[in-house]
Amino acid sequence: MTWVNAIIQGLLTGGLYALFACGLSLMFGVMKVVNLAHGDLAVVGGYVAVGIITVTHIPVLWSFVIVVPVMAVIGYALQRTLIQSALNRGVLTTLIVTLGLSMVIENALLEFFSANTRGIGAGMTLVTGSFRIGSQIELPYLLLLIFAIAVAVLLGLQYFLSQSSYGRLIRAVADDKEAAQLSGADYRHVFGIAAALALGTVALGGIAYGMYQSLDPTAGTDTILLFAFVAVVIGGLGSLWGTLAGGIVLGVAQQIGAQVNLSDELLAGYLVFLLVLVLRPQGLFTRRASS
């Protein structure tokens, strides 16, 4: 029974990892930018939530109403300035620039918030409670909620990309940005919108992580970015639902590893990652983000 429990836990954690990963996948798919500051920006989103909750005392769950738009605006601004000017100098430059951005963010967070960990909504029933089925199976409220949010976010993204006029432009620019220019589309603006979506979604991931674990200034690269990468690679680059599938595979592998030996949790996740890289490097699910 503990095994079943572990698998269910892992499956639900996949939702959290999908929130980390879908923005990373989107930015790579649209502008070929591997955003190494992606995880740190999630942590920034988490800290913004902490700040807003402390100052305004709004309910914890409602903090996202402010945090997501704020991070989306930051994403648009970052793309139009720093990342675009790096892109103009070549795709490789974006790696260096986003790595630099990651270091700046981490050190700024250390400066302002110290290295202490901070939780979001610690002690709430939502965070600590769970459904019980029988005597062994446990479904934590929080993981269920995060999983539901992840599915909603992916559905929303899919709908936006396939149905809206901007979504169509995003796909067109990802296909051929010069041809899109000839149709009157400013690809820099479209890139900005894609970055806004990416940071809006990963901000949700940052808040969720702050509730599920706790935030600290280095969690961005140590955990969030790494898990996002693994989920994207397992799921297949550029595939939206692949990030959820990849996240689930990673989560289940980690939980099974933890059942074998508590210290094997991370190891098991990366072993599966390596296995996928060797046996199916294109990822398990290589459908395009548009379909």
**Residue holding tokens 């903090």?**
63
In angstroms, rounded to a whole number, what is the distance separating the alpha carbons of residues 232 and 29?
Answer: 11
Q: Three-state DSSP class for 40?
A: helix
Q: Which is nearer to other proteins, 173 or 219 (CB)?
A: 173
Residue ranges in 158-177 that form contacts with other proteins under rule CB under 8 A: 165, 168-169, 171-172, 174-176
Q: What is the separation of C-alpha 165 from the centre of its chain, rounded to a whole number of angstroms?
A: 24
- Binding mask of the shown chain, residues 93 to 112, with x at each position contacting other proteins by CB under 8 A: --------------------
Among 54, 184, 262, 278, interactor with other proteins by CB under 8 A: 184
Contact segment (CB under 8 A) with other proteins among 2-10, 182-190, 197-205, 272-280 equals 182-190
Q: Which is nearer to other proteins, 132 or 288 (CB)?
A: 288
Nearest one of 246, 249, 265 to 257, comparing CA atoms: 265
Among 59, 131, 132, 186, interactor with other proteins by CB under 8 A: 186
Asked if residue 65 binds other proteins (CB under 8 A), the reply is: no
Q: Three-state DSSP class for 132?
A: strand
48: exposed, middle or buried (Cβ count in 10 Å: 0-12, 13-18, 19+): buried
Min. distance of Cβ 178 from other proteins in angstroms? 7
In angstroms, rounded to a whole number, what is the distance separating the alpha carbons of residues 288 and 125?
Answer: 39
Q: Which is nearer to other proteins, 187 or 229 (CB)?
A: 187
